[in-house]
Structure 1
Amino acid sequence: MTTGAVRRARLTIAFASAVTAVAATLVAPARAAEPADPGGPAATVVGAAEPCPPPAGFRPGRFEDSTELDGRYQPLPAGTELTWQVHANDGGRALPRTVVLTATDLVKRIDGVWARVLWQRQLAEGVATGSALLFQAQDDDRNVWQLGAYPVLPADGTVTGASEAWIAGVAGARAGVVVPGDPEVDEPPYLRAAAPGIGLLRCGFVVDTSAREVCAPAICYDGVLVVEEFSPLLGPPVRHAYLPGAGLIVAAQVNSDGETLFLTARRRLSVEERLAAAEAALGLEERAYAGSEVYAGTEAMRLQAADADARAVRWALGDRLR
């Protein structure tokens, strides 16, 4: 895999901050518009000793209903599928790539906290070119945390990804906040994710809590939370725009030759589709146990039967669950 391909794959993982919304269910738009301008100020310069501490202490006792991702800026119930279209910043043209994220009925305990298992795919002209498991949990203050990731990136016909995996509490990796539950503009940068074993350090800071005219290709929105994610180790930064009650609507690299993701679809999955997503996630976990030392010591996924459809999925999976 080329260096550029690796960077694109990592960026795609960053975009999947757990999101939800569809144009028909969003608040009334401010106006029709041209594609979003992803430009903005450079990322905040921070010190090297503790570049971006978590905004709140990571303590398992603060995660009572951790798998219920129902915060104001990131509602993501199990059985939801979201799709983003990739656009080039240069000219705003749509590229033949999409990113699809599914909130599965599976959960996994990581570093003492139960996290929702998210299955992410990157598609090129409808053909899968990469996939990943993401693990996210919500604390009692509705901060949404990421506790790990296991990406699988096809390269030269061989499926890889073990070296890119990270799990909070393993090999020095630390969970970080995807989006704060009660964001404030004057707060310092906070930790998004850290895994020294793979050179991962991502930070975030709140740019605006009520931005106006945050735009997709044909529509703009007001009252949007804008968070910038950056790395003190390498760039470029990525701007994320969250619509209250809906979720992430735009994720843009802050440079002219980068890419922007626009949310294009949100739908509830059928029982059959939820089953297929769970089976895919379990298959990735089997691969992770076989090929990743970081993943090998983690607890197995479990199915959280929170509704009738999830109970049907559990029954259909049978012995596939440990």
Structure 2
Amino acid sequence: MHTHHARPQRTSRGTLAAVALAVTITLTPAAAQASPDTTDPGPAATVLPPAATAEPSPCPPLHRFRQRDFGDSADLDNVHQPLRPGTEITLQAVANDGGALLPHVVVITATDLVKKIDGVWTRVLWQQDWRDGTAVESALIFQAQDRQGDVWQLGEYPELVENELPAGAPGAWIAGVAGARAGVVVPGDPDGDEPPYLRAEAPGIGLLRCGYVVDTAADAVCAPAICYDDVLIVEEFSPLLAPPVRHAYAPGIGLIAAAQANSDGETLFLSGKRGLSIAERLTVDWEAVQLEDRAYETSEVYADTSPMRFHAGDGDAEAVRQLMADRLRH
């Protein structure tokens, strides 16, 4: 299992000491801008954007990114990706590496933490990639929802793990830093007639993800033991590199499947979704706090971001906040 790391003794911005101060403040969504006081899609056929050119240009944003268009932005309640704090989803994944099947498990949890990025409060998601019972990657993902119901991604800090110890964090990006731009992951009002739109861009690490709505209400989408109707299917592609990936989102459930459109691609299927206990939420939040503390040490793009804060949005979250504060004081 993933081990807990010892708490650093530093007191600079972004350390556990800073978060200790932040968690003592109960944040409410009423002032989200001031503070949060806040048939199986299978390996999909490529959906090409129109008018490919020799020098592909970035796909445009689905909507202009404006801070004023976000209200209770850390509350992710889009019908195709509902992620309340304390929600854990598990995806069984198989990567086909030259004919060798490499199974692994991806676990994504919505924490009780929020972080302001590019002027918008985001929900902090903690993602782990497990192989043979060992965590090989741990990541912080930052998402926010605008008033139209669009879910945006505003950054990611992925940390590789070797022998249960951090082994570097390539691929970190934060919207508004080094030319990186936020993009829409799941549209609030998906339209199959819309042109391709930006999902994420970070020139510093050669990242450019575009999205394309394939179907807004596909039926009989199976993943794999259960089938769903009215499924939103979005294909993600990059004009720069990498094969496209088709994502399937079931209403009221969220991501149920994802598959790369090539013979050596990867397929993921939803295998579980549950709400965590108070003790489990505390563990997840604690791991996320420690991961951010290391991010300030290892990532230049992360260095000038403000620390995560605790958003006590329900009774269980308030109990977790108190336990977190007690742990950080000792």
Shorter-normalised TM range? 0.7 to 0.9
Task: Give per-residue Cα distances to partners, 1:106-154, cap 9 Å, x unaligned.
Answer: 0000000000000000011321111100000000000000000000013
Q: 1:105 maps to what in 2?
A: 112
Residue 216 of structure 2, aligned match among 209, 216, 234: 209
Equivalents in 1 of 2:73, 2:164: separation in Å? 37
Equivalents in 2 of 1:144, 1:200: separation in Å? 19
**Contact between 2:56 and 2:239, CA under 8 Å: does it hold in 1?**
no
TM-score, L = length of structure 2:
0.82
Equivalents in 1 of 2:100, 2:41: separation in Å? 11
Matched residue count = 287
Alignment of 1:5-20 (within 5 A): none
Instruction: Give, as a single letter, the amino acid of the residue that structure 2 aligns with 1:37.
Output: G
Residues 282 and 251 of structure 1, relative CA distance in 2, 3 Å threshold: same
Instruction: Give, as a single letter, the amino acid of the residue that structure 2 aligns with 1:219.
Output: I
TM-score, L = length of structure 1:
0.84
Q: 1:61 maps to what in 2?
A: 68
Q: 1:41 maps to what in 2?
A: 46
Residues 199 and 308 of structure 1, relative CA distance in 2, 3 Å threshold: same
Task: Give per-residue Cα distances to partners, 1:221-258, cap 9 Å, x unaligned.
Answer: 22111000011000210000011121111011111221
**Contact between 2:58 and 2:208, CA under 8 Å: does it hold in 1?**
no
Q: 1:312 maps to what in 2?
A: 319
Residue 273 of structure 1, aligned match among 267, 275, 280: 280
Instruction: Give, as a single letter, the amino acid of the residue that structure 1 aligns with 2:238.
Output: S
Residue 132 of structure 2, aligned match among 125, 140, 155: 125
Equivalents in 2 of 1:105, 1:195: separation in Å? 27
Q: 1:5 maps to what in 2?
A: none
**Contact between 2:74 and 2:123, CA under 8 Å: does it hold in 1?**
yes
**Contact between 2:41 and 2:246, CA under 8 Å: does it hold in 1?**
no
Residue 80 of structure 1, aligned match among 73, 87, 109: 87
**Contact between 2:126 and 2:140, CA under 8 Å: does it hold in 1?**
yes
Task: Give per-residue Cα distances to partners, 1:151-194, cap 9 Å, x unaligned.
Answer: 00135886334431100000000000001100111101000000
**Contact between 2:145 and 2:151, CA under 8 Å: does it hold in 1?**
yes
Q: Which of 99-108 and 155-164 deviates more? A: 155-164
Q: 2:161 maps to what in 1?
A: 154
Q: 1:249 maps to what in 2?
A: 256
Residue 189 of structure 1, aligned match among 196, 215, 221: 196
Equivalents in 2 of 1:88, 1:293: separation in Å? 31
Residue 237 of structure 1, aligned match among 215, 231, 244: 244
Q: 2:266 maps to what in 1?
A: 259
1:222 maps onto 2:229 in alignment:
yes
**Contact between 1:39 and 1:256, CA under 8 Å: does it hold in 2?**
no
Deviation at 1:72, TM superposition (A): 1.2
Equivalents in 1 of 2:165, 2:284: separation in Å? 22
Residues 156 and 308 of structure 1, relative CA distance in 2, 3 Å threshold: closer
Residue 179 of structure 1, aligned match among 170, 176, 186: 186
Alignment of 1:21-36 (within 5 A): none
Deviation at 1:38, TM superposition (A): 1.5
Q: Which of 155-164 and 235-244 deviates more? A: 155-164
Residues 53 and 219 of structure 1, relative CA distance in 2, 3 Å threshold: same
Q: 1:22 maps to what in 2?
A: none
SS in structure 2 at match of 1:175: strand
Deviation at 1:218, TM superposition (A): 2.5
When the two chains are superposed, the root-mean-square deviation of aligned CA atoms in Å is: 2.2
Larger Cα-atom Rg: 2
SS in structure 1 at match of 2:320: helix
Equivalents in 2 of 1:195, 1:163: separation in Å? 12
Runs of 5+ consecutive residues of structure 2 not aligned to the other structure? 1-38
Q: Sequence identity, in percent?
A: 62
Instruction: Give, as a single letter, the amino acid of the residue that structure 2 aligns with 1:254.
Output: A
SS in structure 1 at match of 2:73: coil
Equivalents in 2 of 1:132, 1:113: separation in Å? 20
Equivalents in 2 of 1:229, 1:273: separation in Å? 32
Deviation at 1:36, TM superposition (A): 5.4
**Contact between 1:43 and 1:228, CA under 8 Å: does it hold in 2?**
no
Equivalents in 2 of 1:310, 1:94: separation in Å? 39
Q: 2:31 maps to what in 1?
A: none
**Contact between 2:237 and 2:244, CA under 8 Å: does it hold in 1?**
yes
Alignment of 1:126-141 (within 5 A): 126-141=133-148
